[in-house]
Structure 1
């Protein structure tokens, strides 16, 4: 079968869904030598790190931006080249113009929490998802929680929605390298003791409440700092205002975007990981931190209960006392014993096998 994959989400500063698509392709390279894959991008330079087999081909439809017109152009290419199936990891419009599509859905955040997004952004997401789910061949989700949410919102999709899961970034499986960790520590001027959070600065990540919780925690633990790693997203000004209002400017460190190869060192340097999102479709940073032996404090929301099981401390993400108490528990643990069988469930090969089964 000749299968297209829209990989335009893979950008130079890779993040979020881009990581997922890279991992998925790596899994497909390992498990599928029978089908032929065409990776469609607007910038082939962003794919130079991929290691592909002969049954994978990169097609560049050059464009500075991935917009509606680029997607239409890609759709025409798909039909002209007689692509039999498309895997769409991000752009819902593909599901409308090319119905024989497997659409990957990561979460329903703009639908469940529209106030976390611009009005236009939330409406656009909802409309495009509505169009796509009614047209596509299949829908793949990264968690059972998102699958249930889709079925709750779209009653007619019962046989269309399938969980394929998520895999771990291979960088996180590399052994500890103290020399490289020291370089990262010096680069960001990190303290000896700190709690770590990682993710784009946006409302659903719940940084405001985490900072407030840290404000209570630090009163009895003045030797700890709070390090937040992530680029600015949207509606982030309140985060910085909260730090200033609570007089925590010397206690909270914002590093900005960190390189992919630095993430494991940041986990290795930290004393604990704090990830108290109000909503997620999966929450891979929790598992990444755990894989490095780091104790994890996370929200007691359904998807984190699903993905972390009993391998984390759970807190109420809107209760400041619960957050502060969770941080206290976190620093009492030290490094955690890693359950390798638990981590074995998060393999890109397994994700790829489940996806191939949908063809």
Structure 2
């Protein structure tokens, strides 16, 4: 039997939770797959998941964990690896988060019977750090975009660039705001910068709130899924200035609607977008500004929504996770 760890249920939907939700729903359509629901509040998840790992003790069971809420100890455990940043870049997180999560992630990676990587870049990083002996698959995020003709553009009233990011310093929003603010006033009057995303001070290290009353910047905070699709659809381009990523969900979501991309030149974004994006150096404000200037001036690279939806498909992702889990189940 394959048991899906459902400790993510009840959390606000972010990239990992969406991944777990979409993959779990598809896994449960197969015989011999069940979900073990959480029976604890969110602030007690760590203790609960460790107990769960010990409780799945049957020799016939494989535990599948699709988010970071994962037990350390389990006989046969498939672990989804979204990134290694709490280990490689602890400065991006709060001290408390690092103290509780870094040791757990190390133990999970070392004890896993199978690994699921959300991108080839994440797999490569893992092999560099820990080697490639553990059975593994690359199973990327998928697209959940509605049909193109059903999404109405966001009615902002003038063109805008869209950035979707949390308060994580890795998202590099401070430099993006600096770059946009350094554009000539005429360009900022021509195209706004819209920022979307929530905050979580218990997870991420403090960063300067660079968003003020600068002309042209609109901060919307957390938005619903329907609102987000509408924002993607209406944007002149989607800007992703991340210093690093395990995947890059805004890239495929925006591209699935045909919205151009202007993004950091990092390995995972090259893996996702290849030559179908405008790239910039995320550590260089001038480079970011030049990328913004290009898309404002309509120097955009066309994307193919059908190709994006075909390549990043949740059904394919779930099948890869299932195939790996079945191999471990049969191996005993």
| TM-score (ref. length: structure 1) | 0.82
Q: 1:324 aligns with which of 256, 276, 289?
A: 289
Q: Tell me, in whole angstroms, the C-alpha distance in 1 between the residues paired with 2:143 and 2:15.
A: 12
How far apart, in 2, do the equivalents of 1:260 and 1:342 lie? 19
User: Which of residues 310, 315, 318 in structure 1 aligns to 2:280?
Assistant: 315
SS in 2 for 1:97: coil
Alignment of 1:81-96 (within 5 A): 84-91=61-68, 93-94=70-71, 96=72
**Structure 2 equivalent of residue 274 of structure 1:** 239
Gaps of 5+ in 2: 326-332
Maintained 8 Å contact 1:92/1:103: no
Q: Does 1:295 align with 2:260?
A: yes
In structure 1, what is the equivalent of residue 310 of structure 2? 344
Look up the match of 2:118: 142
Aligned to 1:216: 182
CA contact (8 A) 1:10 1:19 kept: no
Q: Deviations over 1:123-156 (max 9, x none)?
A: 433311221122221111101111111111113x
Secondary structure of 2:198's counterpart equals: coil
Q: Point out where structure 1 has 5 or more consecutive residues left out of the alignment.
A: 43-60
Which of 38, 46, 49 is the matching residue for 1:68?
46
Compared CA separation, residues 296 and 164, structure 1 to 2 (3 A)? same
| CA apart distance, 1:97 | 2.2
Counterpart contact for 1:166–1:348, Cα < 8 Å: yes
TM-fit CA distance, 1:86: 0.6
**1:35-54 equivalent positions in 2, closer than 5 A:** 35-42=31-38
CA–CA distance in structure 2, aligned partners of residues 83 and 67 of structure 1: 25
What CA deviation, in whole Å up to 9, does each residue of 1:278-326 have, x standing for no partner? 0100101111111111111000011111111111100001111111111
Distance across 2 between alignment mates of 1:25 and 1:223:
44
Structure-2 change in CA distance of 1:107 and 1:203 (3 Å): same
CA distance in 1, matches of 2:181, 2:93: 27
Aligned position for 1:261: 226
Q: Which whole-Å CA distance do the structure 1 matches of 2:60 and 2:216 have between them?
A: 54
Quote the residue 1:16 is aligned against: 15
Report the Cα distance in structure 1 between the residues aligned to 2:41 and 2:97, rounded to whole angstroms. Answer: 22
Aligned equivalents of 1:18 and 1:40: distance in 2? Answer: 15
Structure 1 residue 162 corresponds to structure 2 residue 137: yes
- Output the aligned Cα RMSD: 2.4
Q: CA shift at 1:358, angstroms?
A: 0.9
1:115 aligns with 2:91: yes
Q: Using CA pairs below 8 Å that are at least 6 residues apart, which structure has the higher relative contact order?
A: 2
C-alpha deviation, 1:239, in angstroms: 4.3
Number of corresponding residues: 321
Classify 1:132/1:304 alpha carbon distance in 2 versus 1 (closer, same or farther; 3 Å).
Answer: same
Structure 1 pair 309–69 and aligned structure 2 pair: CA distance change class (3 A): same
